[in-house]
Structure 1
């Protein structure tokens, strides 16, 4: 199976080799038929500490790197 790739915005880079990425998804509510925005935060591995808050990045699923990290940054 191919690994999932998501696009989001870096919201935190305070930890060493880790960034927090907020990924927003939009969908139509099944009853109200209104477009809803939901966001979720993912912790991603950033080997070179290259990304700063506000950067748009792509993240990809990977094997667990730590207790909370299951994603790695592909590129900006």
Structure 2
């Protein structure tokens, strides 16, 4: 890591606005289910929460397992 990056006090972020198609939604849902390591799991949860908040994922697909118990 270059020394100049160590001196930056704040992370650089980018906001992207757009529409997620049905195929993209299904791909992201499948990807979130496959991810396993800790960092990837956190990223998957962030993506899932974002999609839920934007209305792309309904309550029936979020937060409950097959038995209907919230996780």
Which band: TM-score by shorter chain?
Answer: under 0.3
Structure with more of its chain in helix, by fraction: 2
TM-score (norm 2): 0.21
Highest RCO, 1 vs 2 (Cα 8 Å, sep ≥ 6): 1
**Which protein shows a greater Rg?**
2
Structure with more of its chain in strand, by fraction: 1
